[in-house]
Amino acid sequence: MSGATHGGPTPRVTVAIANYNGRELLHGALQSLDAQTFGDFCVLVVDDGSTDDSVAWLRTSRPGVELIVQENAGVTAALNVCLSAPRTDLVMLLNNDVELHPACLAELVAALDAHPEAGSATVKLLDFHRRDVLDGAGDVLTWAGSGHRRGHGEPDRGQYDQPRAIFGACAAAAVYRRSALDAVGLLDADFGAFCEDTDWALRAQLAGFDCRYVPTAVVFHMGSATLGAGLTDFTRYRLWRNTVWMLVKGLPASVALRHSHQLLAGQLLNLAVAIRDRKLNIWLRAWRDALHGMPRMLQRRREIQGARRVSPRELEARIGPDG
């Protein structure tokens, strides 16, 4: 494929960035890619209908970057183009609001080389503005039915400096193996935004693919620079709806039954938060639309569970606050 190849004519890795009105952010992210000690990669930017000068700037200032321009289709749709367009062995998803440590890509590739059972690898995310504070040390899925970044908001004291298998990767900065993408599929386009990376991680675990947490691969992350900070109605709606879809598709019946009390408690907590914050209308709309989309999700459930390669007990061991 064409692009900014920093190694041979067929690069090992494609670094793919989804962009929407992120002209000012792209400069910093691309600069940090220029400084990588690992050189065998190319860069792809998928622009999701930006109305700023992102496209013009890339064409004039970064002609070596492969550019795909599409009409605005949303975050997950843009990420799926990032994952499907490259045919390299490894694809790195990267937000536009990040800065990579120079050794980041080298550490991720080395981890995947050392662990052929892993379908993806994730970084240590640090807060862009407070660089001694964790933004995330790998993603976990709790029995309340929520995915979250391990250690988010904690001071970085080295408590997450042990490389290990983890439930999943935050799509802000993660490397995916092409063979895993071919087996698991792309992100669920119906999600639109939020939970799509946790949903993929759950499907990958069911398909028998681990994720490696690589603490020596460090990325500084602004967070919500494109979608906006704070728990907006947009965020609440998609978190509540998408969590239901993720659990319906991903949990084997025996697992859901054994943990039904925890799963129910998680949903009741969401309801309580909605009532407390006077967002009951958002919660009701999320559930209405979750139920409306249930026939599609049940069809996908049949496909996912039919291809499952791990036992329910094996999956249970990978869910919980420690991932």
Torsions phi, psi for 231 (to 5 deg):
-90, 85
Burial of 168 from C-beta contacts in 10 A (0-12 / 13-18 / 19+): buried
Rounded Cα–Cα distance for residues 133 and 152 (Å) = 8
| Token couple for 319 | 């869910």
Per-residue pLDDT, 1: 33
Burial of 299 per CB tally in 10 Å (0-12, 13-18, 19+)? exposed
β-partners of residue 139 are 149, 168
Q: What is the pLDDT of residues 126-163, one digit of tens each?
A: 999 999 999 999 999 999 998 999 999 999 999 999 99
What does the pLDDT read at residue 230? 63
Question: What are the structural domains, with CATH classification, of the chain?
Answer: 13-221 (3.90.550.60), 233-310 (no CATH)
CB 170 within 8 A of CB 198: no
* 235 exposure class (CB count in 10 Å sphere: 0-12, 13-18, 19+): middle
Which of these, 90, 92, 93, 105, lies nearest to 218 by C-alpha position?
A: 105
SS percent in the chain: helix, strand, coil, step 5 = 40, 20, 35
Question: What pLDDT was estimated at residue 10?
Answer: 85
Q: What angle do CA 69, 70, 74 make, to 5 degrees?
A: 125
Q: Which one, of 13, 20, 83, lies nearest residue 41 by Cα?
A: 13
DSSP-derived secondary structure letter, 190:
G
Q: How many helices (H) and strands (E) does the chain have?
A: 12, 12
**Per-residue pLDDT reduced to its tens digit, 209-266:** 999 999 999 999 997 644 445 689 999 999 999 999 999 999 999 999 999 999 999 9
Each residue's pLDDT, cut to its tens digit, for the chain (323 residues) gives 334 445 457 899 999 999 999 999 999 999 999 999 999 999 999 999 999 999 999 999 999 999 999 999 989 999 999 999 999 999 999 999 999 999 999 999 999 999 999 999 999 999 999 999 999 999 999 999 989 999 999 999 999 999 999 999 999 999 999 999 999 999 999 999 899 999 999 999 999 999 999 999 999 999 764 444 568 999 999 999 999 999 999 999 999 999 999 999 999 999 999 999 999 999 999 999 999 999 999 999 999 999 999 999 999 999 988 77
- The CA distance from 265 to 294, in Å, is 21
Burial of residue 176 (CB within 10 Å: 0-12, 13-18, 19+) is: buried
